[in-house]
Chains A and B, each alone.
Chain A
Amino acid sequence: MATVDVNGHSVELDEDGFMVNLDEWNEEVAVYLAKTEDVAELTEDHWKLVNYLKDYYKEYGIAPMVRKMCKDTGLKLKEIYDLFPTGPAKGACKVAGLPKPTGCV
């Protein structure tokens, strides 16, 4: 567990760097988290994916399945890894402020 300071706001993160309190998320936090996942700058495509994940989670209370995510965003899985080198779960979901993926990972 660690608390980091993002432009004056303190954000609590777990060992894997996922947010503990999801309502602390804002765009500056996303930019901060992106840097921890090898994304130097969030481009338009990054935001498209991040916003999609946020909206989906808001509506359904879970992260979308990979196939659904690819269909809805029009991004191929390869393109998603180009955007987020650590993948949709560890990379994109973390930056979008979704809860940490669980299960047999």
Chain B
Amino acid sequence: MALSNRPLLDNLKEGRYPSFVKEMEKGGAKTEQLLNLLERSYEEKKVHWKHGGIVGVRGYGGGVIGRYCDLPEEYPDVAEFHTIRVNQPSGWFYNSKSLRTLCDIWEKHGSGLTNMHGATGDAILLGTTTEHLQPIFNDLSEAGFDLGGSGSNLRTPSCCNGEARCEYSCFDAMHLCHDLTNEYQDELHRPMWPYKSKIKISGCPNDCTSSIARSDIAIIGTWRDAIQVNQAEVANYADAGMDVKREVVYKCPTKCMSYDADKKELNIDNDNCTRCMHCINTMTKALHVGKDRGASLLIGGKATIVQSAFLGWVVKPFIKLNKEDDYAELKELLEKMWDWWDENAKVRERIGELIYRKGMTDFLKAIDIEAVPQMVKHPRENPYFFWTEEEVVAEIASRKNAEVSK
């Protein structure tokens, strides 16, 4: 057997999971040096890409991530190896024609390697040279594709499959994603903010886009009336052997359900339901989301740097999402949030960190929203509460009045 020059990577061609090494080897001469460089990184246990890189296309401030190899003489094919983010269609639905078009363009201008998809959602074209950037952008535009976001801007919004193929979806997630992407093209292509801002859209609280953890602004579908129950289907689940009490009723986090085993009837106290989705997920045919639908708006989700990792928290428990008025209420809120952030944040301060620094009171005042109990898991446990001067003056006046009337 001939000795391989990439013994470490060859190990990763074995096993049952699809091997990225096998896929990359299909690129032949085009990907040979990248594989060799990767093997070297495996040997030395370190990356061989230089720090940073600023490249782009005319008119945009983002969308391309510049990358240079730190051993350009030894690996000239990957001396410049930039990544292009292409805005994906909502819900990642493609037809083969559009994918073939994308492949043809990438075959002509780049390495042929892709990432389908980047964690934010974009179709990622991995590896090309500076000289190809403008031509590939022109070809992409011609074919109807646009770049996604990068830098201190609105990143490419993404959404779950929504109503396209999920009966849980509380609104048309794909339509909203497309609409917001179009509405905020300028914010997406031309970085203007203190740092990045991400929007993710999930049709229901199952949150199939992980919006609560991976977006500054999470739009998560919900409803505010009763869960729709089909008792005949409940009975079918019971007849098929499901232990409804054990699998559904006892697992309800608010214990708001009861089950009559004789009548095979499920009852839900909807006022105490927090719409966690468990019962609906478990008895898909019998239970259905309510009819009065909308979304909860959460703010602040981000990764560790700098403050710590945040999950998004509630800023609006329920908001109606109307296609008819182009989501006017949502957009007004988004713009108020961004404006306050842009005005007040330090360099590279995510909106979640700014709220942490300046407080929810300031934030809510800036976006004209009243504080409600749903915004907190529990009230503060320390007494260091700030009053405004007006509040103190008003309080003193009202106490004096009370004394006089005694």
**A residues whose Cβ falls under 8 Å from a Cβ of B:** 15-16, 18, 38, 62, 65-67, 77-78, 81, 85-90, 94, 100-105
Q: Which residues of B contact A86 (CB under 8 A)?
A: 56-58, 61
In the bound assembly, the distance between CA atoms of A104 and B51 in angstroms comes to 11
B193 within 8 A of A: yes
Q: How far is the CA of A16 from the CA of B58 in the complex (A)?
A: 15
The 0/1 profile, CB within 8 Å of A marked 1, for residues 62-76 of chain B is 100110100000000
Q: Is the interface of A mostly helix, strand, loop or mixed?
A: loop
Q: List 14 A-B contacts (CB under 8 A).
A: A18-B54, A65-B347, A66-B192, A67-B194, A81-B59, A81-B61, A81-B190, A86-B57, A87-B56, A87-B60, A88-B61, A100-B52, A101-B52, A102-B52
Question: Of residues 312 to 327 in B, which have CB atoms within 8 Å of A's CB atoms?
Answer: none
B50 contacts across to A, CB distance below 8 A: 15
A18 to chain B, nearest CB (A): 7
* A16 to B133 CA separation, bound complex (whole angstroms): 13
Residues of chain B contacted by A105 (CB below 8 angstroms): 52, 54, 62, 65, 150-152
| Set A15, A67, A89: member contacting B342, Cβ < 8 A | A67
Q: In the complex, are the beta carbons of B347 and A67 less than 8 A apart?
A: no
The one of B51, B54, B61, B343 in contact with A67, judged by C-beta atoms closer than 8 angstroms, is: B343
Give, as a whole number of angstroms, the nearest-CB distance from B187 to chain A. Answer: 10
A90 to B191 CA separation, bound complex (whole angstroms) = 11
* Chain A-chain B contacts (Cβ-Cβ < 8 Å), number: 67
Bound-complex Cα distance A86 to B57 (A): 6
User: How many residues belonging to B are interface residues under a CB distance threshold of 8 Å?
Assistant: 31
Residue of B nearest to A101 (CB): B54
Alpha-carbon gap, A62 to B194, bound state (A): 14
**Cα of A15 to Cα of B67 in the assembled complex, Å:** 10
Interface residues of B in 63-120 (CB under 8 A from A): 65-66, 68, 80
Contacts A86-B58, A102-B52, A105-B65; is A62 near B192 (CB within 8 Å)? Answer: no
Q: Does B275 contact A (CB under 8 A)?
A: no
Besides A15-B68, A87-B60, A94-B54, 16 other A-B contacts (C-beta < 8 A): A15-B66, A16-B66, A18-B54, A66-B191, A77-B192, A78-B186, A86-B56, A87-B191, A88-B61, A89-B151, A90-B54, A90-B55, A102-B52, A105-B54, A105-B62, A105-B152
